[in-house]
Amino acid sequence: MAKDTKERILEAALEMFSQNGYAGTNVRELSASLGLVKSGVYKHYESKEAIWNALLDQMIAYYADHFGSADHLPTVPDSLEALTRLTMRMVNVTVHDEKIVMTRKVLTLEQFRDPRARELATKHFLTGLTDMFTRIFTGMMEKGLLRENDPAMLAFAYTAPISALIHLCDREPEKTDEAMAQIEAFSRHFIKVYGEDGHE
């Protein structure tokens, strides 16, 4: 039951931090949203900062499990079409998984206040994606699917526009379908430019 309450506290904290930011969230309101008194929260976490740090730890693990990371790589595609399918599966998760959407909002809000949030924002919005696709593209080059090139530069060129369109979905959710279609079209364009002929 204690674990249950701890999980509930973190879920409520993620929602409140994503809406109000760290400074705009207080433990009294967090407690009330869970039907607890403040001491009920402090029984599990000694401070708001402790809740924040536990939440960041949870975000890292959840993101790696559901989206992937350089240490938790998806399988290297066996065809160029499989690259587009992999990309769209990953984008679908990151755009529609509420926990990941709220995580991205929290990191966007708090990256200028908290060093850990800044580090995670850089990793999730830029370096983590580039590292993951550097390894994927290296594997695809080894399979003869992509032309020999600098895999890190290819990964940067591939992920930067996709990341920008994901942020558009956060800002303007009504444009999500349009952004998803753009991402798929971009993936197919990338394949035409960098794919080895005869590997559709």
Per the structure, the complete domain to which residue 156 belongs is given by 67-200
Q: Are residues 105 and 179 in the same domain?
A: yes
pLDDT reported for residue 110: 92
For 88, the token pair is 């769209």
pLDDT, averaged per 10 consecutive residues of the chain (200 residues), comes to 79 92 90 89 91 90 75 86 95 91 90 91 87 94 96 96 94 95 97 78
Q: Are residues 50 and 137 in the same domain?
A: no
130: enclosing H helix or E strand: helix 128-142
> Which tens digit of pLDDT belongs to each residue from 45-62?
999 999 999 998 988 888
Q: Are residues 26 and 94 in the same domain?
A: no
What is the identity of the amino acid at 136? Answer: I
Last residue of a domain, one of 57, 80, 95: 57
Q: Are residues 95 and 158 in the same domain?
A: yes
Q: Are residues 93 and 50 in the same domain?
A: no
Q: Are residues 23 and 75 in the same domain?
A: no
What's the DSSP call for residue 123? I
144 three-class SS:
coil
Q: Please, what is the end-to-end C-alpha distance for the chain in angstroms? A: 52
Q: Are residues 94 and 188 in the same domain?
A: yes
Q: Are residues 121 and 176 in the same domain?
A: yes
In angstroms, what CA-CA distances link 85 with 7, 16, 88, 176, 192?
Answer: 33, 34, 5, 18, 15
Q: Are residues 171 and 127 in the same domain?
A: yes
Q: Count up the domains in the chain and report the number.
A: 2
Q: Are residues 116 and 170 in the same domain?
A: yes
**What CATH number is given to the structural domain containing 182?**
1.10.357.10
For 123, the token pair is 């990793």
Q: Are residues 106 and 45 in the same domain?
A: no
Q: Are residues 82 and 168 in the same domain?
A: yes
Q: Which phi-psi region, left, alpha or beta, contains residue 76 (left: φ > 0; alpha: ψ -120 to 50)?
A: beta
Gap between the Cα atoms of 133 and 179, Å rounded: 20
Q: Is residue 62 part of a domain?
A: no
pLDDT reported for residue 1: 47
**What CATH number is given to the structural domain containing 27?**
1.10.10.60
For 175, the token pair is 């444009």
Last residue of a domain, one of 14, 30, 57: 57
pLDDT reported for residue 69: 65
CA dihedral of residues 159, 137, 78, 192 (deg, nearest 10) = 70
